[in-house]
Amino acid sequence: MTLQDLGYHNVLEQFKIDQNLDSFEVGRVISQHKERYIVKTPTKEFDAELLGNLRFTAESRYDLPAVGDWVAFSEYDDNKALIRTVYPRTSILERQAVGKKGQVQIIATNIDFGLIVQAIDRDFNVNRLERYLTICNASKVEPIIVLSKIDLLPEFHLENITQQIKRRIKGVPIVTVSSQMDKGYDTLNPIIQKGKTYCLLGSSGVGKSTLLNHISGKSLMKTGHISTSVNKGRHVTSHRELVVMENGGILIDNPGMREVGISDLSGGLEITFETIFEYTQNCKFKDCTHTHEKGCAVLDAVENGDIDYNSYANFQKIEREKLHFESSVLEKKKKDKSFGKLVKQVKKQRKQNKY
């Protein structure tokens, strides 16, 4: 194995040279447990922690390592290491942090493709697919839809589902698989390219770990049996983990997400709902909300059937969520700025009291 097999490329090598990091080793974070990390090199895996200076100078979560990151580190004991620097990222998959207003949670970094997995039985939901697409598009990650457990429904029902997706989502590959029938993997396997990184996205129990095991041909991840009471898979993966496949692809397994909060600040919504945004250019008013205005091209297109109503309703819901998140971020920045000023005033007052 080489660094290139882990996804290393010339831009990272140039950063290493420019920052004079030749005296440190380079590796990729393949697992994270709170503030402990597993860093992989072509020959070893290290139990790593943050160098104190990196921890205390970090201004936000973005300054700390995440699964998928490349890092400069130094070994201080057998298989023990200190992470000193995080290399620049090509992409960051993220969502709103659950229960934390105005904050984000990093799902994984340096991702090339997002495998959005949905089981076609009770988990299937086009609205949720559009949410995952928005997350991928905001991060410039290429999405691929994978429909799992196709053995649970008749063939005609599966065809109806794929057609339903294609009516609302354009230009995204759809792959259908079944682990029970060992079907569909001959289509999926060629998609996995050597040196490229793929992140599995989806709810709990949709078969992400089973998918990883089938692609690799090995039992790399634990899998759960289908519950006979609710006909759903059980949640198995408890943390993110990066795995290098025998065919050269790199996959990140990911815990199931009950909530897919949008933290899009970089145009992912516009890409996911491209058709709707094309119609907004023809609205009578520039500040049109596309909800009630006369002369709204979007509402006219919905009424004429040129825009799917359910897609329009989901767009409105996600956009409101996005705007609320943006206002929460601004509010948090103001509070942080005010708190910073207060700290400076206290320090200044204490200094004056000494004299």
Please state, in angstroms and as integers, the Cα–Cα distance from residue 297 to each residue in 240, 267, 275, 304, following that order: 43, 21, 12, 10
Yes or no: say if 208 and 117 are a contact pair by the CB < 8 Å rule.
Answer: yes
For residue 243, the model assigns a pLDDT of: 84
Q: Where are the beta strands (DSSP E) in the chain?
A: 25-33, 36-40, 45-50, 70-77, 80-86, 92-96, 104-109, 113-119, 142-148, 174-176, 197-201, 241-244, 250-253
d(CA 304, CA 294): 15
Please state, in angstroms and as integers, the Cα–Cα distance from residue 127 to each residue in 170, 227, 350, following that order: 14, 25, 55
For residue 308, the model assigns a pLDDT of: 93
Residue 75 burial by Cβ neighbours in a 10 Å radius (0-12, 13-18, 19+): middle
- Pick from 113, 104, 141, 166: nearest CA to 271: 141
**Tokens standing for residue 197:** 């990184």
DSSP, res 87: P
For residue 174, the model assigns a pLDDT of: 94
* Burial 196-216, CB ≥16 within 10 A → b, else e: bbbbbbbbbbbbbbbbbbbbb
Helix axes 309-353, 126-138, angle to 10 degrees: 50
- pLDDT tens-digit profile, the chain (355 residues): 889 989 999 999 999 999 999 999 999 999 988 789 999 999 999 999 998 888 888 888 889 999 999 999 999 988 899 999 999 999 998 877 665 666 778 889 999 999 999 888 777 889 999 989 998 998 899 999 999 888 888 888 889 999 999 999 989 999 998 878 778 888 888 888 888 999 888 877 777 778 888 877 665 555 544 444 444 444 444 456 788 887 788 888 866 555 566 666 567 888 999 999 999 999 999 889 999 999 999 999 999 999 999 999 999 998 888 887 777 666 656 655 555 555 566 556 666 665 5
Q: Rounded to the nearest 5°, which phi and psi values hold at 19? A: -95, 10
Q: Rounded to the nearest 5°, which phi and psi values hold at 124? A: -60, 130
**Tokens standing for residue 327:** 């206002």
For residue 228, the model assigns a pLDDT of: 42
For residue 191, the model assigns a pLDDT of: 86
**Tokens standing for residue 4:** 């290139």
Residue 316 burial by Cβ neighbours in a 10 Å radius (0-12, 13-18, 19+): middle
- Pick from 197, 182, 227, 154: nearest CA to 28: 197
d(CA 141, CA 110): 9
CA 91 to mean position of chain CA atoms: 9
For residue 353, the model assigns a pLDDT of: 63
d(CA 25, CA 20): 12
For residue 61, the model assigns a pLDDT of: 83
For residue 116, the model assigns a pLDDT of: 92
